[in-house]
Amino acid sequence: MANTIAALLEGTRLNKTDAKVLLAHLLNKHLGWPRSALISRDQEPLPDELLIAWKSLEAQRISGVPVAYLTGVKAFHGIELKVNETVLIPRPETELLVDLALEEIQRIHSDYPNQTIQILDLGTGSGAIALAVAHECSISKAPINLGILGVDQASDAIELACENAKALGLNHLVEFLLSNWYDAIPDRYQTAFDVIVSNPPYIQKDDPHLQEGDLRFEPKAALTDDGDGLSCIREIVNHAHHYLKPGGLIAIEHSYDQAAEVATLLENHSFHDIGAIADLAGHLRVTRARK
């Protein structure tokens, strides 16, 4: 029969990883079953409403819709985030920004344990970077005084980021603000941030990857600047000095082939200690520097 977990997994055109994620999502949603039911209850008949939902998700995934948009959630650096078509799907390479921010927080905290450390996340989207940083600090054995501001120009993104903060119990540590980069950031934050992190739109407008895979379904404005891929990074670097403390850290994600250009931008704006960090594939994906 084709109404059991085993039969659905055997008969689907999807790869087994995607199929199991989608089916586990439906089992939990419709029946309250845990993921382990994929094995422990794989011969039990499933209700019609779940089978109908499965066929819908299966067809959408076959057409290319990202799994994260179909389930509405994505794991990122130890937390689970709500995601939808208004925001980018958080990716492993962006976790480099979280790790850099956490290293800097620990460095400052060890020297100045009572200082409130201020972080700015530009283009926050679902709130992934800001909330991952906040989560790690919230479970630290040593209490850390922390303030994080995440900004985005998309009101839908800010709404979703706020939902994620509330769901994770982190809204006391993170504030989200509707702003086109620095435009709406209050004056009190000038030279206030210890760290600025950003995963801005950096894909060139004619890059063929925009027409491939998950990128076809993600918000274009969060992927590309409709130019050379560097205009948003220029905007971030041009004004960073006004918001970073002396010695403050800036870290920006970029394309695998933009590291040299980003480093030059930072150098031209009097940043120092400039360096690029590779992702797991060996591509230089994040450039960091100090004011």
- Is position 72 within any domain? no
What is the predicted pLDDT for the residue at 203?
A: 94
| pLDDT above 70 as % of the chain | 100
What is the predicted pLDDT for the residue at 142?
A: 79
Q: Domain containing 274 — which CATH number?
A: 3.40.50.150
What is the predicted pLDDT for the residue at 179?
A: 98
Is there a single domain that holds both residue 162 and residue 275? yes
Instruction: List Cα–Cα distances, 55 to 25, 71, 262, in angstroms.
Output: 13, 14, 45
Contact 167, 120 (CB under 8 A): no
- Is position 171 within any domain? yes
Give residue 120's identity as a one-letter amino acid code: L
Is there a single domain that holds both residue 179 and residue 217? yes
- Is position 68 within any domain? no
Contact 247, 258 (CB under 8 A): no
Q: For residues 127 and 152, what is the distance between their CA atoms, to the nearest angstrom? A: 9
In the chain, how many domains are there? 2
Is there a single domain that holds both residue 124 and residue 157? yes
- Is position 70 within any domain? no
Contact 172, 134 (CB under 8 A): no
Q: Which two tokens stand for residue 156?
A: 């839908």
State pLDDT tens for residues 221-260: 999 999 999 999 999 999 999 999 999 999 999 999 999 9
Is there a single domain that holds both residue 48 and residue 183? no
What is the predicted pLDDT for the residue at 141?
A: 80
Average pLDDT over residues 84-111: 96
Q: Which two tokens stand for residue 191?
A: 């030279």
pLDDT of 2 higher than 80: no
Q: For residues 272 and 264, what is the distance between their CA atoms, to the nearest angstrom? A: 11
Contact 146, 173 (CB under 8 A): yes
Is there a single domain that holds both residue 28 and residue 164? no
Is there a single domain that holds both residue 9 and residue 123? no
Pairing type for strands 79-82 and 117-122 reads: unpaired
- Is position 41 within any domain? yes
Is there a single domain that holds both residue 31 and residue 165? no
Is there a single domain that holds both residue 130 and residue 227? yes
In terms of phi and psi (left: phi > 0; alpha: psi -120 to 50; beta: otherwise), the region of 207 is beta
Is there a single domain that holds both residue 37 and residue 94? no
Q: For residues 35 and 146, what is the distance between their CA atoms, to the nearest angstrom? A: 35
Averaged pLDDT score across all residues of the chain: 96
Q: For residues 183 and 51, what is the distance between their CA atoms, to the nearest angstrom? A: 49
The pair phi, psi for residue 20, each rounded to 5°, is -70, -40
Question: Which residues 6+ apart lie within 8 Å of 289 measured at CB?
Answer: 249, 250, 263, 266, 271, 272, 273, 274, 275
Contact 196, 248 (CB under 8 A): yes
- Least confident window among 27-31, 77-81, 141-145, 160-164: 141-145
Which among 164, 179, 84 is positioned nearest to 128, based on CA atoms? 164
Which among 179, 128, 129 is positioned nearest to 153, based on CA atoms? 179
- Is position 69 within any domain? no
Average pLDDT over residues 149-178: 97
Q: For residues 85 and 156, what is the distance between their CA atoms, to the nearest angstrom? A: 10
Which among 123, 147, 143, 122 is positioned nearest to 133, based on CA atoms? 147
Structural Rg of the chain based on CA atoms = 21
Is there a single domain that holds both residue 12 and residue 154? no
Is there a single domain that holds both residue 56 and residue 92? no
- Domain hosting 278: range is 87-290
Is there a single domain that holds both residue 186 and residue 232? yes
- Is position 186 within any domain? yes
3-state secondary structure 158-202: HHHHHHHHHHHCCCCCEEEEECCCCCCCCHHHCCCEEEEEECCCC
- Is position 109 within any domain? yes
Q: Please tell me the pTM assigned to this model.
A: 0.94
State pLDDT tens for residues 193-230: 999 999 999 999 989 989 988 999 999 999 999 999 99
Q: For residues 69 and 203, what is the distance between their CA atoms, to the nearest angstrom? A: 21
User: How many other CB atoms are found less than 10 A from the CB of residue 36?
Assistant: 10
